């Protein structure tokens, strides 16, 4: 059984905006196009924090540039 998603991150990856879902341990559970309707539904009524702090997200988002991490929008989902 897959862990429930706790975080939604929207960030640039190779020039495209992607949405990535992570569980409470910051393990990625899904990835999809950030322009999808699911993102709108999941973020309705939520506020995002700008920037994925490398101290918290460095391992989960390895391969992303510092500018991609700084521009990430981080949502904590209601689970």
Confidence of residue 1 (pLDDT cuts 50, 70, 90): low
Q: Is residue 69 part of a domain?
A: yes
Look at residue 29 and tell me if it is in a domain: yes
More confident residue, 15 or 32: 32
Give the per-residue pLDDT at 79: 67
Decide if 2 is inside a domain: no
- Sign of torsion, CA 65 69 72 75? positive
Residue 70 lies in a domain: yes
**Parent domain of 59:** 7-76
Residue 27 resides in a domain: yes
- Does 1 reside within a domain? no
pTM for the full model?
0.90
Q: 54 with 69: CB under 8 angstroms?
A: yes
pLDDT tens for residues 27-51? 999 999 999 999 999 999 999 999 9
Total domain count for the chain? 1
Instruction: Name the strand (E) or helix (H) holding 20.
Output: strand 16-22
11 within a domain of the structure (yes/no)? yes
Does residue 33 form part of some domain? yes
């Amino acid at each position: 059984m897959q862990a429930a998603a706790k975080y939604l991150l929207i960030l640039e990856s190779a020039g495209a905006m992607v949405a990535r879902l992570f569980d409470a341990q910051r393990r990625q559970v899904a990835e999809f196009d950030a322009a999808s309707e699911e993102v709108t539904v999941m973020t309705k009524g939520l506020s995002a924090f700008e920037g994925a702090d490398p101290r918290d997200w460095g391992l989960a988002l390895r391969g992303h540039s510092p500018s991609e991490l700084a521009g990430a929008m981080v949502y904590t989902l209601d689970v």
